[in-house]
Amino acid sequence: MNEELKLMVVRLNEARRIAEQFKAELAASHNDLEIAWKQNEGNKLEALGRATIEVADLEADIRALAVAAYQNDPQKQKDLGYGVGIRIMTRLDYDAKTALGWAQKTGLALRLDTPAFEKVAKASNLPFVQSHEEPQATIASDLAKALKEKP
């Protein structure tokens, strides 16, 4: 029995050694592939980062320009063309502590569930909540189509 046990341990040791060797080879291959991928795709990743920043900057500039155009337009036209428009959003201004006190007193929107509180606040006339409308610029996702629609 000792001889059989020894043979099994020797086989296990060899199997472990082979498994570790394959594991090390795969790890090295993975590392080599990652390095090669970064070398090949690094420029694309950097370009993507720059393009993403440019998109965000241009969208912010367009939204600001659109809101300014809307606010300066006596007719308050919401469709500015080229896939850019204005949507009027109702915003609520209130002191969170006062709102929480109201929620605790009334038993509604406890823990100040902001969406629930704001639904109630929009439907009610709470003395500590002021409502104002705020234009929000929208940009079409398909700008190529929008550009074809207007001259």
- Give 100-142 pLDDT, tens digit per residue: 888 888 888 777 788 988 998 999 888 999 999 999 888 888 8
pLDDT of residue 150: 59
Lowest-pLDDT choice from 4-13, 82-91, 132-141:
4-13
Query: DSSP 3-state assignment of 92?
Result: strand
Instruction: Give Cα separations from 1 to 7, 13, 60, 129, 144 (angstroms).
Output: 10, 18, 79, 86, 80
**How far is 81 from 125, CA to CA, in rounded Å?**
37
pTM above 0.85, yes or no: no
Residue 145 has a CB neighbour count (10 Å cut-off) of 10
Whether the pLDDT of residue 24 is over 90: the answer is yes
- Tell me whether strands 84-93 and 130-139 are parallel, antiparallel or unpaired: antiparallel
Query: For residue 93, is pLDDT > 80?
Result: yes
Burial of 139 (C-beta count, 10 Å sphere; 0-12/13-18/19+): middle
Angle between helical axes of 114-123 and 96-106 (0-180°, round to 10) = 80
